[in-house]
């Protein structure tokens, strides 16, 4: 493109209302303009990036066997009443009426529409599975639209839906989407994490993963393990804690009735226990010759059983039989106490550091040895991640947990029959009986993704797009357009690159070089050719902004070769 005739309104200063750097740079670079809160126009530059993102998404969706279609944004409210979401969705759902007072909504997502469509068109198992997607504008009256494209009220989403005859089919569709999402985000050059999540307003019965772009500005907190691949969002991570606190009301039977240990205060053992554990676990120390030989911690059955399963996943922890338990703890160990409540966890304190810890639920084959207090016992503790500290540990392996911020760029759900039930999406199986279709849905916030990449690829002077997303790969800047040699060579290069299918922009404006360079930084093309005085000798200045190298003077042929 020739810059002179483009709608490319760059700004020297960021508008004061833009908090996020990506938002500031997208405004300053002339990528987007706000029309109303959370509602944006994509100017030619922004639309180019969006197109490139869409292209990557379309390729990967097609590879995964999904077919593209396009559904309406304006949807009759009856369908939403049928699914129950007309009220459930709350004030985010934009409702309107037509001239005949018929109710409509502006689609925030398309489960209702696609399910009713497929229900009407497909009724036999032979027509399944179906895998469909669209890239389409969504409407959500967000309480707090912010950060530009990151949380808009009108935004672009890729939403995909799978319809299967059984859960195994859904699992295949889901896994293929997880793989496709990984490839999409990798191809975008995004640093991201897939984290366990909660279903939210989309609902559903099964698994769900969120894809989080790593960025400090992100509105989500993600919990990742420093050692294993455990990763969850904060809401999901606290899910374990909610399960545990639900059992905190259980009255723990009096330990002394069963054993006669010396009792240590909880405070003395707090090194092993976080606050939540102290609140509901009772801890006792077995003494021999004034030396602690074992600690018994008692709590709720399910809780510890659940934790034990996690501990078993840790390295070198193994099952211990009852004799071993008794020998190592130096204490008799029975299966006394009300069923399901008597759950000791043993930690051998025979040496200053734990030598051979034992932990167990009061059941056969539910004791393990070689427990390492630092690693496993903390792994066994309850995780209140909302108030988490640097000392908190991974529920899978016990290593340190890391807390960081993320932007939700994608979300995959196993819906099951939630929508096929309410919207009557059935098929006849091979035996001629009717069954509900098993569904999954899979979203990517395309416009949000554009901003998330910008957030990660920001620099002080503009966005340094990865080459595959850059609105232009090459920017040609003649220092003086009035100089015929310079403008001649610049035009020649422009034509040649364009013919070669390269996205190239030519700054053919009569501006001072300083202005041109500042704008070029904001526009963000990856490669730059500056045509100056040396044009007469067939030499230009070449800058590859991607590898951070300095400008160098090269012959035209060499530059074309490099591109």
Binding marks (x or -) toward ligand ATP, 373..412, rule CB under 6 A?
-----------------------------------xxxx-
Applying the rule CB under 6 A, the residues between 81 and 140 that interact with ligand ATP are 109, 140
Assigned token pair, 546: 């991607």
Longest Cα separation, the chain: 100
Minimal distance, residue 408 CB to Mg ion, in Å:
5
Provide the mask over 144-163, with x wherever binding to ligand ATP is found by CB under 6 A and - wherever it is not. -------xx--x-x------
Are the beta carbons of 409 and 211 closer than 8 angstroms? Answer: yes
Specify the residue, 108 or 532, whose C-beta has the smaller distance to Mg ion.
108
Window 398-437: residues binding Mg ion (CB under 5 A): 408, 411
Q: Supply the minimum distance, in Å, between the C-beta of residue 144 and Mg ion.
A: 11
409: CB partners within 8 A, 6+ apart: 185, 190, 192, 211, 212, 213, 444, 445, 448, 449, 452
Q: Which does 142 bind (CB under 5 to 8 A by kind): ligand ATP, Mg ion, none?
A: ligand ATP
Residue nearest to Mg ion (CB): 411
Is residue 202 at the binding interface for ligand ATP, with CB under 6 A as the rule? yes
Q: Which does 50 bind (CB under 5 to 8 A by kind): ligand ATP, Mg ion, none?
A: none
**Are the C-beta atoms of 410 and 212 separated by less than 8 Å?**
no
Least Å distance between CB 145 and Mg ion? 11
Tell me how far, at minimum, the Cβ of 200 lies from Mg ion, in Å: 5
Structure letter (DSSP) for residue 517 = H
CB 471 within 8 A of CB 523: yes
Beta strands in 3-115 (DSSP E): 32-36, 39-42, 67-68, 74-76, 94-97, 103-106
> Whose Cβ is closer to ligand ATP: residue 131's or residue 509's?
131
Question: What is the nearest approach in angstroms of ligand ATP to the Cβ of residue 15?
Answer: 19
Contacts with ligand ATP by CB under 6 A: the residue count is 17
Select the binding partner of residue 383 from Mg ion, ligand ATP, none (C-beta < 5 to 8 A, by kind): none
Which position has the token pair 């606190």? 245
**Nearest distance from residue 208's CB to ligand ATP, in Å?**
9
The whole-angstrom separation of Cα 359 and Cα 130 is 48
Total interface residues for Mg ion by CB under 5 A: 2
Residue partners of 245: CB distance under 8 A and separation at least 6: 276, 382
Closest CA to 80 of 103, 119, 112, 102: 112
**Total length of the chain:** 563
Closest CA to 461 of 511, 513, 518: 518
> Which value, in Å, is the radius of gyration of the alpha carbons in the chain?
30
| Site track for ligand ATP across 431-470, x = CB under 6 A | ------------x-x-xx----------------------
In this structure, what DSSP letter does residue 363 have?
S
Peptide bond into 379 cis (omega under 30): no
Name the residues that contact Mg ion, by CB under 5 A: 408, 411
Name the residues that contact ligand ATP, by CB under 6 A: 109, 140, 142, 151-152, 155, 157, 200, 202, 408-411, 443, 445, 447-448
């Amino acid at each position: 493109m020739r810059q002179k005739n483009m709608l490319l309104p760059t700004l020297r200063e960021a508008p004061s209302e833009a908090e996020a750097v990506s938002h500031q740079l997208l405004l300053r670079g002339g990528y987007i303009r706000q029309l109303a809160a959370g509602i944006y126009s994509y100017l030619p530059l922004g639309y180019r990036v969006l197109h490139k993102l869409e292209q990557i998404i379309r390729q990967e969706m097609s590879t995964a066997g999904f077919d593209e279609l396009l559904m309406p944004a304006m949807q009759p409210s009856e369908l939403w009443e049928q699914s129950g979401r007309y009220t459930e969705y709350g004030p985010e759902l934009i409702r309107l009426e037509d001239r005949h007072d018929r109710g409509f909504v502006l689609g925030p997502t398309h489960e209702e529409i696609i399910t009713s469509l497929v229900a009407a068109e497909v009724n036999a198992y032979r027509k399944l599975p179906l895998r469909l997607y669209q890239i389409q504008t969504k409407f959500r009256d967000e309480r707090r639209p912010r950060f530009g494209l990151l949380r808009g009220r009108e935004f672009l989403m890729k939403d995909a839906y799978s319809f299967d005859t059984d859960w195994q089919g859904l699992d295949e569709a889901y896994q293929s989407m997880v793989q496709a999402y990984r490839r999409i985000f990798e191809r975008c050059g995004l640093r991201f994490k897939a984290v366990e999540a909660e279903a939210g307003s989309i609902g559903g019965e099964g698994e769900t993963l969120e894809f989080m772009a790593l960025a400090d500005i992100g509105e989500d907190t993600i919990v990742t393990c420093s050692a294993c691949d455990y990763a969850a969002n904060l809401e999901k991570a606290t899910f374990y804690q909610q399960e545990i606190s639900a059992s905190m009301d259980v009255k723990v039977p009096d330990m002394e009735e069963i054993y006669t240990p010396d009792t240590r205060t909880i405070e003395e053992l707090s090194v092993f226990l976080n606050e939540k554990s102290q609140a509901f676990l009772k801890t006792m120390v077995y003494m021999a010759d004034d030396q602690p030989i074992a600690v018994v911690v008692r709590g709720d059955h399910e809780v510890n059983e659940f934790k034990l399963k996690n501990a078993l996943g840790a390295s070198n922890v193994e099952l211990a039989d009852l004799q071993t338990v008794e020998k190592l703890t130096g204490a008799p160990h029975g299966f006394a106490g009300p069923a399901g409540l008597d759950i000791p966890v043993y930690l051998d304190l025979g040496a200053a550091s734990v030598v051979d810890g034992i932990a167990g639920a009061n059941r056969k084959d539910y004791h393990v040895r070689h427990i390492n207090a630092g690693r496993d016992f903390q792994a066994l503790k309850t995780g209140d991640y909302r108030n988490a500290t640097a000392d908190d540990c991974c529920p899978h392996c016990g290593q340190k947990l890391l807390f960081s911020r993320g932007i939700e760029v994608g979300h995959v759900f196993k819906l099951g029959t939630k929508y096929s039930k309410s919207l009557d999406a059935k098929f006849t199986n091979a035996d001629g009986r009717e069954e509900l279709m098993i569904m999954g849905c899979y979203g990517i916030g395309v416009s949000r993704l554009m901003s998330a990449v910008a957030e990660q690829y920001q620099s002080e002077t503009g966005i340094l797009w990865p080459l595959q997303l850059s609105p232009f790969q090459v920017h040609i800047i003649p220092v003086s357009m009035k100089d015929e040699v310079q403008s001649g060579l610049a035009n020649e290069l422009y034509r040649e690159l364009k013919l070669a299918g390269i996205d190239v922009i030519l700054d053919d404006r009569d501006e001072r070089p300083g202005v041109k360079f500042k704008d070029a930084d904001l526009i963000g093309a990856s490669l730059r050719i500056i045509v100056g005085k040396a044009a007469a000798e067939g030499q230009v200045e070449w800058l590859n902004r991607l590898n951070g190298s300095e400008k160098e003077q090269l012959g035209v042929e060499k530059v074309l070769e490099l591109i």
